[in-house]
Amino acid sequence: MTPVGPQNPAAVRSEGAVGPQSGAVGHSEPPSVGDLFSKLGTELATLVSQEINLAKTEMMLKAKAVVRNVIVIGVGAGFGLVALLVLTAALILGLATLMEPWLAALVVGAVFAAISAAAVLKGKAGLSAIEAKPEMTIETLKENKQWAQELVR
């Protein structure tokens, strides 16, 4: 491994601390317009690549949140199905006997219905809270546009 710093003159020279590659100390020539545009192109390409990676990461996080809330809605729907089955059994028992077994089935059905409603409402609220657009990426793109405009001036 090549050490970097004062103990390695080649590293210092390549960093531009000593001056041009010829080793002359003192003045350095300003970069040409071509060099500046070349550097701008390279930096813009890197920037675009980083923005794409940021957008991918941000959308992946949002997709995971969507999946979690869809699962909660699915659980709510499953409890809703159980509630429907139990309430159906309560109705049948109530009509058949008009005695206590239907009341027990009705209470159980009501509990499952409440659980189902709570889960579906929670999942729906969670989905509503998720913003679908990559806000961080949009903000950094605006900043990058401004930065690029300042470089061109």
pLDDT value, residue 119: 94
Which H or E run contains 134? none
Amino acid identity for residue 150 in this structure: E
If asked whether residues 83 and 23 sit together in one domain, one would say no
Same domain, 21 and 48: no
Residue 23 scores a pLDDT above 90? no
- In this prediction, residue 29 carries a pLDDT of 84
Higher pLDDT, 128 or 16: 128
CA atoms within 13 A on the CB side of 30: 3
Q: Would you state the structure tokens that stand for residue 143, as one six-digit string?
A: 């900043």
Domain range for 52 is 31-152
| Stretch 94-121: mean pLDDT | 80
Tokens (6 digits) for 113: 């219905």
Please tell me whether residues 13 and 47 are part of one structural domain: no
What's the rounded mean pLDDT across residues 22-43?
76
pTM of the predicted protein model: 0.40
pLDDT tens for 64-94 read 989 999 999 999 999 998 998 888 787 777 7
The number of folded domains in the chain is: 2
62 and 21 within one domain: no
The winner for highest mean pLDDT among 6-10, 68-72, 143-147 is 68-72
Q: Looking at the structure, tell me whether residues 22 and 92 fall in a common domain.
A: no
| Interatomic CA distance for residues 78 and 128, integer angstroms | 21
Q: Which letter, b or e, does each residue of 124-147 get, where b requires 16 or more Cβ atoms within 10 Å of its Cβ?
A: eebeeeeeeebeebeebbeebeee
Per the model's pLDDT, the better-predicted residue between 100 and 29 turns out to be 29
Mean pLDDT for all residues in the chain: 78
Q: Are residues 42 and 93 both part of a single domain?
A: yes
